Structure 1
């Protein structure tokens, strides 16, 4: 069984992305207070990762992100794993997803007439490996060669393991995104890029999201989707507008649920006055998003809200599908 981005969007109008891996693992009792974060669970209790994927499939997700955001070769080796073990753990993130998908599909999804979920290989920015908050700013002070070396082998491993798309997510800068895009293009693998943003127009590094869309839309034939994640939900409508004006690619958004992150204490603080997550999701669909889901602190209940409002959105008239090139 194999479906494409276009297949799913034609079937459902809007593709539903899953939610946070970290928050869902914590709900299952995992302790993520370490530098490896979710990658520690991938190594020590992989069945919890499988349970998270199954939960999101059951909640209605049409695609899911592998538990590989924090799984990097240098990060794993600095925490006691050999290079071979680190590479195997990165492959494992895809293998767990694929097994969970097949189990869910055969037992539930096929009979329910659901789309066969896409496997998105989650690839975090260099700053995620540093675990010091620089993933949100892009201030690394390293060379392009070092960035390429950091990203390339992990990207190769995830592609070889069978992921349907490479997802370079939480990208703080156009500069790092272009290095990631170059790797994917050289591997001739389909991918999408998702930026983290500090307001309705700018990435964490300060690049205009409009410029990111305009530059990446040229000479990147394997780029199949562009979007925003790990961003406050109130900024997303503006960002969708900026993207739509500067690209014909489908737009994917999966913001945080609304809390504020403190990189020092590694904790989230609830904010007051936010809309219901489903209400935000409906706004994103109306603004032109082709895929909607959740990032930090979102769990199954948030994805169920997205699925429900998609029905509301479809009742307003089936949206036109942007076909992936």
Structure 2
């Protein structure tokens, strides 16, 4: 991640770049995490050739350790619905996430990316768990299904209320969604209260997922750059990309925001 004055730029999709480098990730239960075990050099190569040169114009980039939803472990696509939380307590969710959070903090990451969280209950559990590590910072980012609701069905506006007053969260927001959902969600949430550190948004490229043909309907333009200034004006202080976004998309996003700042 690199900082452009008022906005921190978040990098794009790791798995997309690993596939571009020739790794076959489809059908693997661990997906891109498999490379951590079988080909760690590929992970290093992607960051060395793309992330650092594009984001680190000055100083070193921040390193965020990712904590995704419990449902991804179940390997039944429930991370997209969050329906597992209906049979779990917050304490059970915290117990599951605690070892990973501890490991990432011990490894020395700069902050924790609590991301693609489908439900309000899991989001609250993660924020509560973070309090056990009072010297650590994080962001909390929900996955969403439409212009009002996160994936499990709670209103985004309600789901963020618990988190926006946390002193440990550098940002609260959403990721892994179509870009055109971002502005309506932020606009509604802004009617109440913005998070202390601002919103974080890093949607997908705008392509749609088809289980039979994989990704399709690629936009003709860079959706991140197209909406970036609008998101910034709505209070987004951290902006980047999720699935199918490329280093070129992130570079154009950065240039768009830099040009906007120079005009002010």
TM-score (norm 1): 0.74
Contact kept, 8 Å, 1:243 with 1:251, in 2: the verdict is no
Over 3 Å counting, the alpha-carbon distance change for 1:314 and 1:210 in structure 2 is same
Work out the CA distance in 2 between the residues paired with 1:46 and 1:271: 30
Contact 2:206 2:223 in 1 (8 A): no
**1:207-256 C-alpha deviation (Å, 9 max, x unpaired):** 111112222224x3312210110010001111222333322321111000
- In structure 2, how many angstroms separate the alpha carbons of the residues matched to 1:310 and 1:57? 18
CA contact (8 A) 2:174 2:202 kept: yes
Deviation at 1:278, TM superposition (A): 1.3
Describe the superposition over 1:114-163 as per-residue Cα deviations: whole angstroms up to 9, x where unpaired: 14211111111011122322112101154224322221111110111101
Partner of 1:102: none
- Give the whole-Å Cα distance in 2 for the aligned partners of 1:202 and 1:283: 20
Q: How far apart are residue 294 of structure 1 and its match?
A: 0.3
Match of 1:39 in 2: 33
CA distance in 1, matches of 2:59, 2:150: 32
Matches within 5 A, 1:111-150: 112=57, 114-140=58-84, 141-144=86-89, 145-150=91-96
Change (3 A) 1:115 1:199: farther
Provide closer, same or farther for how the CA distance between residues 306 and 272 of structure 1 changes in structure 2, counting only shifts above 3 A: closer
**Secondary structure of the corresponding residue to residue 236 of structure 2:** coil
Q: Distance in 1 between matches of 2:77 and 2:213?
A: 9
CA distances 1:240-286 after superposition (whole Å, capped 9, x unpaired): 22333322321111000011224x55922225677643112232223
Residue 178 of structure 2: which of 226, 232, 235 is its match? 232
Q: Indicate yes or no: 2:159 matched with 1:217.
A: no
Shifted more, 197-206 versus 143-152: the winner is: 143-152
Structure 2, unaligned runs of 5 or more = none
Higher share in helix:
1
Residue 205 (structure 2) aligns with: 257
- Conserved 8 A contact 1:173-1:195: yes
Gaps of 5+ in 1: 61-108, 318-325
TM-score (norm 2): 0.90
Alignment of 1:130-279 (within 5 A): 130-140=74-84, 141-144=86-89, 145-188=91-134, 189-218=136-165, 220-245=166-191, 246-249=193-196, 250-262=198-210, 264-265=211-212, 267-270=214-217, 276-279=223-226
138 and 163 in structure 1: CA distance in 2 versus 1, 3 angstrom threshold: same
Is it true that 1:316 corresponds to 2:263 in the alignment? yes
User: For the residues of structure 2 that align with 1:154 and 1:300, how far apart are their CA atoms?
Assistant: 27
**Conserved? CA contact 1:253–1:293, under 8 Å:** yes
Shift of the 222–272 alpha-carbon distance from structure 1 to 2, 3 Å rule, reads closer
Aligned to 1:58: 53
Q: Report the counterpart of residue 230 of structure 2 in structure 1.
A: 283
Change (3 A) 1:242 1:52: farther
Q: Distance in 2 between matches of 1:272 and 1:19?
A: 16
RMSD, matched Cα: 2.1
Partners of 1:286 and 1:216 lie apart in 2 by 21
